[in-house]
Amino acid sequence: MQEAIPQEFLIAGVDEAGRGPLAGPVIAAAVILDPRHPIAGLADSKKLTEKRREHLFNEIRQHALAWSVARATRAEIDDINILQASLLAMQRAVSKLKIAPVKVLVDGNRSPRFACPSEAIIKGDEKEPAISAASIVAKVLRDRLMMMLDRRYPQYGFAGHKGYPTAAHVEALRTHGVSRVHRLSFGPVAAIKKAP
């Protein structure tokens, strides 16, 4: 039987994916890494190829002490704004961890309230392996969700841009109007919704 992990190692990294897109939920992940199983190559998910993210995601699932994911919906984003929705998704992700962390490290300059101490770290996804792991989990799962939404709403091209405000996405919005998964409070969507 493996010996118990000392409490001081039960640190969760938290990050989100999907603050900038015009469509879909924001997804947050929380990861507690296992010091006995370090994962090589963890980095900010945006700096990794899709193939590398998928490989690391599988390693994280296999070797992390605990990981979880949660979302804030499009409706919640429109209701409370994207920053508050991101913080809410982070709270939900941490609350779903099967092991309670002693501390939470959050990517960025704001941390929501958790049941334990937390620290916001600017560029944390580049500095803290647990935050890097969380950024990878959140990005991989959000991208998969947008691929699913692409099958439901093929006219918008979600598989390509994942909901981000590319020229092709904005043009598709102008052509096809606003879908049920678009964020009505975001400028480009609101402008099209209000257009005659």
Q: What is the pLDDT of residue 115?
A: 95
pLDDT tens string 144-166 = 999 999 999 999 999 999 999 99
What global pTM score does this model have? Answer: 0.94
Q: Return the structure tokens found at 57.
A: 């995601």
pLDDT tens string 91-113 = 999 999 999 999 999 999 999 99
pLDDT tens string 128-144 = 999 999 999 999 999 99
96 in Cβ contact with 79 (< 8 Å)? no
For a pLDDT cut of 90, what percent of the chain falls above it? 91
pLDDT tens string 8-35 = 889 999 999 999 999 999 999 999 999 9
Q: What is the pLDDT of residue 165?
A: 96
User: Is the pLDDT confidence value at 1 over 60?
Assistant: no
**CB burial string 156-188: b at 16+ within 10 A, e below:** bbbeebbbebeeebbebbeeeebbebbbeebee
What's the rounded Cα separation, in Å, for the pair 156 and 108?
A: 30
CA distances for 7 relative to 12, 26, 121, 183, 195, angstroms: 12, 30, 21, 41, 56
User: Is the pLDDT confidence value at 89 over 80?
Assistant: yes
User: Which residue ranges form the domains of the chain, and what is each CATH number?
Assistant: 9-152 (3.30.420.10)
Tell me, what DSSP letter sits at residue 3? Answer: P
Q: What is the pLDDT of residue 2?
A: 57
32 in Cβ contact with 11 (< 8 Å)? yes
pLDDT tens string 38-64 = 999 998 888 999 999 999 999 999 999
User: Is the pLDDT confidence value at 195 over 70?
Assistant: no
For a pLDDT cut of 70, what percent of the chain falls above it? 97
- Average pLDDT over all residues of the chain: 95
Q: What is the pLDDT of residue 9?
A: 83
User: Is the pLDDT confidence value at 3 over 80?
Assistant: no
In the beta sheet, which residues pair with residue 42?
A: none
